[in-house]
Structure 1
Amino acid sequence: MKKETMNINKTNYHIHTYRCKHAAGDAADYCSAAEKAGLEAIGISDHTPLPDGKWGSVRMDIDELPDYCEKIEDARNEFAGRLEVYAGMECEYFPRYEKFYNDTLREEFGIEYLAIALHFYPLGGEEISTHAYPMDKDALKSYTDLFVEGIKTGMFEFAAHPDLFLARYPSWDSYAEKCSERICNAATDSGTALEINGYGFCRDDFSGYPSDNFWRIAASCGAKGVINSDAHCPEHIDIGFQRCLELAERLGISLADPVRRAAKPS
């Protein structure tokens, strides 16, 4: 008898707005797309602004925070009873930003969940882009050290595209396996979900993730997964979902709902 397919994924907590300067649409646009796609809950999680203005070309400006939160609240009210809408942020992890994430994002602006993501990591006295340069073992160690440190803080509801490094590391080897084990064990120990990223399946400019090799380790470590699309336009509200579900089913990844668990919409 043919094994039944998993139910459709009903949530998406990784969504960007036009404010990050490389996406399109605002909260209400994504809500409309989510409703049409049959989703039950979404979270807007744009690239957070940073208090020092770092990497400003790929994230919102800090003075856009009030409008960002206002538009999410407006969408929440407009779609009340039809779609759950949560306010989130995708956050670079460096220890110097922890106070800003806790005090400003969560406490002052009421951001309900945070996702850790490493688009930058320290190497040779600089902080370099994960997207821009090939990774060797030294680079992967630095990436892994920082990711594990951030996950262990317990500040973040999920880790976005944790296997992103495989788009720049030359090939799967014993060192990639060791680093993946460290990331997955940190997630399991802290109760942080790991994101199966639908956008990664659909990119032709930066491919390599999601990786079966990584997710086999996640399954063996008992890490929980969450499926998101990493949408950069409303049309991508559920991009890659079917392949993410198939990966989770094939490899035995247990799925979680870390945002609903942590936050309740007002």
Structure 2
Amino acid sequence: MKFDLHTHNERCGHAVGTIEDYVTAAIDAGLQVIGISDHSPFFAHEQDQPFPGIAMARSEFASYIEEVQRLKVQYQDRIEVLLGMESDFFPEYIDIYRKAYAEIPFDYIIGSVHQVSGVSIFNRNRWKGLSEKRHVEEKQLYYDLIRQSARTGLFQVLGHIDAMKGYYPQFSEIPAHEDIDETLRVIAGEDVSIEINTSGSTKDVGGWYPSDEILERALHFGVNVTFGSDAHIPGRVGDEWELVQKRLKEIGFKQWVFYRRKQKIIVPL
């Protein structure tokens, strides 16, 4: 069974195409399951859409849910459409986000850390002028936030867990192995999944999130894995799915998962 849980659409302001464009692209790519998971609104901000090029407006949230539910029915004979969301994780606002999601019939929510120390993890300049000690501390902060997100009970999937390397490939060389291992222990203990996110291949690092080394450690600790293209254009839906499947088998994984009504569906590799 071929699936992709991580796709975006024009509502977030930095993706191209409607939700239906991603559904039809998934059908064309031979998928049986497509998850729609656009960037969550900034629910804690006083403005409706404080960052138009980053996430959807709060006023778009209800129509987003309604559209995905409509497409679920419209395409039910051709593909299974899942209602998801990629939710920013801000520990100080977690209760606000929890309340916003409480009555929504999500199939899954992806929890993603996009900011550390108030700076985007994708900011190319965040590392400039930092000492080696500060490099380590920033990486430790990143993984501490990921551990916190796993413990919330709000997320079924954790997004791109080493994405700080996207525009700074040297991130992988910053020594923080104990923090990564502890993070994977927590994720396994909370029965949350991590995604293999192929959008890293479109950035400077030129490879998936997370690295093979982290995936090997994830297998050791018993972490479940899923697949997400993180497509921001319809043509990337399911991108490199077969390559990821092959690599997971080589590493030693026997299965991966997706979610329906927040219940884990196991798919043999």
TM over 0.5: yes
The aligned counterpart of 2:23 is 31
SS at match of 2:100: helix
Distance change (3 Å), C-alpha of 1:175 and 1:155 = same
SS at match of 1:165: helix
Matches within 5 A, 1:4-153: 10-51=2-43, 52=45, 53=47, 55-107=51-103, 109-122=104-117, 127-132=118-123, 133-134=126-127, 136-153=135-152
Superposed displacement of residue 231, structure 1: 0.8
Contact (CA 8 Å) 2:34, 2:82: kept in 1 or not?
Answer: yes
The aligned counterpart of 1:6 is none
Distance change (3 Å), C-alpha of 1:139 and 1:263 = same
Unaligned runs of 5+ in 2: 128-133, 265-269
After superposition, the CA RMSD in angstroms is: 2.2
Distance change (3 Å), C-alpha of 1:243 and 1:176 = farther
Contact (CA 8 Å) 1:15, 1:43: kept in 2 or not?
Answer: yes
Alignment deviations for residues 91-119 of structure 1 (CA, whole Å, 9 cap, x no partner): 11112332233222231x43332101111
Number of residue equivalences? 250
Distance change (3 Å), C-alpha of 1:129 and 1:207 = farther
Q: Distance in 2 between matches of 1:24 and 1:261?
A: 27
Contact (CA 8 Å) 2:139, 2:174: kept in 1 or not?
Answer: no
Contact (CA 8 Å) 1:157, 1:258: kept in 2 or not?
Answer: no
Matches within 5 A, 1:197-212: 197-200=197-200, 202-210=201-209, 211-212=211-212
Q: Distance in 1 between matches of 2:81 and 2:97?
A: 20
State the TM-score, normalized to the length of structure 1: 0.86
Q: Distance in 2 between matches of 1:139 and 1:174?
A: 10
The residue type equivalent to 1:47 in the other structure is: H
Q: Distance in 2 between matches of 1:139 and 1:104?
A: 29
SS at match of 1:47: coil
Distance change (3 Å), C-alpha of 1:171 and 1:142 = closer
Contact (CA 8 Å) 1:224, 1:254: kept in 2 or not?
Answer: no
Whether 1:180 aligns to 2:215 is: no
Q: Distance in 2 between matches of 1:35 and 1:242?
A: 16
Superposed displacement of residue 67, structure 1: 1.7
User: Which segment is superposed worse, 147-156 or 50-59?
Assistant: 50-59
Alignment deviations for residues 158-217 of structure 1 (CA, whole Å, 9 cap, x no partner): 1111121333362545833222212211110000011011222x3143545431111111
SS at match of 1:24: coil
The residue type equivalent to 2:187 in the other structure is: A
The residue type equivalent to 2:113 in the other structure is: L
Matches within 5 A, 1:221-236: 221-236=221-236
SS at match of 2:37: strand
Contact (CA 8 Å) 2:106, 2:261: kept in 1 or not?
Answer: no
The aligned counterpart of 2:267 is none
Superposed displacement of residue 137, structure 1: 0.5
Superposed displacement of residue 261, structure 1: 6.3
Q: Distance in 1 between matches of 2:215 and 2:226?
A: 12
Q: Distance in 2 between matches of 1:226 and 1:144?
A: 19
Identity %: 27
User: Which segment is superposed worse, 51-60 or 20-29?
Assistant: 51-60
Whether 1:220 aligns to 2:220 is: yes
